[in-house]
Structure 1
Amino acid sequence: MSSTFRIGGDLDVRRLGFGAMHLPTEPGPGRENALAVARRAVELGVTLIDTAHLYGGGANEELLAEALHPYPEGLLITTKVGVARTGPGGDWKLDGRPEILRDQVRQALRRLRTERIELLQLHRIDPDTPLADQLGTLRELHTEGLVGRIGLSEVTVEELERAREIVDVVSVQNRYNLLDREHEPVLAACAAAGIAFLPWRPVAWGKTGAEGEIAAVAAELGATPTQVSLAWLLGRAPVVLPIPGTARIGHLEENLAAAGLELTSAQRTRLDRLAGAARAATG
């Protein structure tokens, strides 16, 4: 099992990354700890960090820049655009209008203190804006040299196929974990095409007997259930790049240690059965 993946065929990252969404950005001890967590992630070898405009309206991007700029060679910070405070009363809503996407990219470049976003993902497809307009704008930003590569988030197989007719899609970020495999067809499509698949919420517990089985496998390996869940993801397909998030250094170290955990084929078979059992239990 390879520990690295080449996004878009030319961008090498370690497969187990870090999701920055949970890092506190308000001034105070929480922010200081968040800065330490981000720095520790890089110290431990993380080369893929995920953020988004939605996370604090860009405050998360600013936090990462404060923690890590000037960025070490090989570090990829990927961000997402397409959700804005343009709803009634300034509420967050999907907004993929070209002017919104362009503005959020400009803000991300400023906040991240960079001249180019190597991987930009559309946070969600806005149903009120033609897909060609949304992806056409990202393609223009790529042509202008402001964006290196384009990805999507929370899409179906059909949406992925339509998008690939417009732009070169190098990544997909969908919800997926050991107990929640709704997007199995999307993962299969990504694996067939060599597209990076970044599962968000990579660890989740059901309310059936699944936790017991995961805990049993963890005990056999001298690991934690979280590590077992992440190791299962890493072994699921070479294109899978989990991005577990945390605001605690202890949890971060636990998560990243999962890269060295190897499941036996028998253990993997037991874990593979859990999603079906969880679906049956919840009706």
Structure 2
Amino acid sequence: MTAPTTFRIGGELEVRRLGFGAMHLRPETAEDRATCLAVARRAVELGVTLIDTAHMYGWGGNEDLLAEALHPYPEDLVIATKVGIRHTTDGEGWRHAGEPADLRDQVDEALLRLRLDRIGLLQLHRLDPDVPLPDQLGALRDLRDEGKIGHIGLSEVTAAELADARAVVDIASVQNRYNPLDREHEPVLAACEEAGIAFLPWRPVAAGQSGGRSSEIAAVAGELDATPTQVTLAWLLAHSPVILPIPGTASIAHLEENLGADTVRLTPEQYARLNA
């Protein structure tokens, strides 16, 4: 089975569908940092044009690292980041931060860290339950109109929340947890397909356990002389033209394995087995 290799986010930003999630690039030592910089640079060398990051990933450190690795950026590279969460020493280590003034500050901070004048895709990491949705999205819409944001996305939303958001502002992407073994958000994917919205599955390969958790994935991988991870990503690419997988890693070997998935071709019979 063949699938489209590119997608236009918001009808404008054309990217390779198989992107890179930078979440794991959080170095603790100088040696780690050198490795993380090399991974980010290798991703671009291998043709990645969509990189996903967030303020939450190292509380700005991940964005700083990407800028160090890749700035000045290639013209075709889209770096998508996320706001709406702040660091705290209580509980889980984070809190919602969806007040309009705070969102403005977070966008300005991200622009500085990423060394950008405009963020091509800015996603709301979580909806703040204590702030009216029109206020949160209205702030991002204003920032878009001011030229600081190109397109607006959401993360971890239901189909109903997506519909409510679209009544306020155009939504270009949704980033929800999704893989062949975890399809809780199938209704959200269906809504994205209908509207032409990019669907960025996080944890697209079930934390690298696809082979161990599913004998069918492992069997198909053996038939294709591919890895279970590659088969999982190939299934995602075949499953819907709006899916843009963003597998993450801090290893160049794993990066190259992941990006090899877009050369894996599932037969209709193999695709059906994985669907089941």
Is 2:105 aligned against 1:103? yes
Secondary structure of the equivalent of 2:182?
coil
Secondary structure of the equivalent of 1:77?
strand
Is 2:150 aligned against 1:126? no
Secondary structure of the equivalent of 1:149?
strand
Partner of 1:278: none
TM-score (norm: length of structure 2): 0.96
Partner of 1:231: 234
Secondary structure of the equivalent of 1:245?
coil
For structure 1, the residue ranges without an aligned partner over 5 or more in a row are 274-283
Is 2:222 aligned against 1:254? no
Partner of 1:23: 25
Distance 2:9 2:274 in 1: 28
Q: C-alpha offsets along residues 98-144 of structure 1, whole Å, 9 cap, x if unaligned?
A: 12111110110000001000100000101011101100000010011
One-letter code aligned to 1:221: L
Secondary structure of the equivalent of 1:220?
helix
Count of aligned residue pairs for this structure pair? 273
8 A contact 1:51–1:79 mirrored in 2: yes
Partner of 2:5: 3
Q: C-alpha offsets along residues 122-178 of structure 1, whole Å, 9 cap, x if unaligned?
A: 001010111011000000100111001000000000000000010000100000001
Is 2:85 aligned against 1:83? yes
Q: C-alpha offsets along residues 230-283 of structure 1, whole Å, 9 cap, x if unaligned?
A: 00000011000000000000000000000111101111111111xxxxxxxxxx
Aligned pairs (5 A) from 1:10-159: 10-85=12-87, 88=90, 91-159=93-161
- Percent of matched pairs sharing the same residue: 68
Distance 1:46 1:207 in 2: 23
C-alpha displacement of 1:10: 1.1
C-alpha displacement of 1:207: 9.5
Poorly superposed stretches of 4+, deviation over 6 Å: 205-209
CA RMSD of aligned residues (A): 1.7
Is 2:267 aligned against 1:264? yes
8 A contact 1:102–1:137 mirrored in 2: yes
Distance 1:94 1:203 in 2: 27
C-alpha displacement of 1:85: 2.2
Partner of 1:162: 164
For structure 2, the residue ranges without an aligned partner over 5 or more in a row are none
Secondary structure of the equivalent of 2:174?
strand
8 A contact 2:56–2:87 mirrored in 1: no
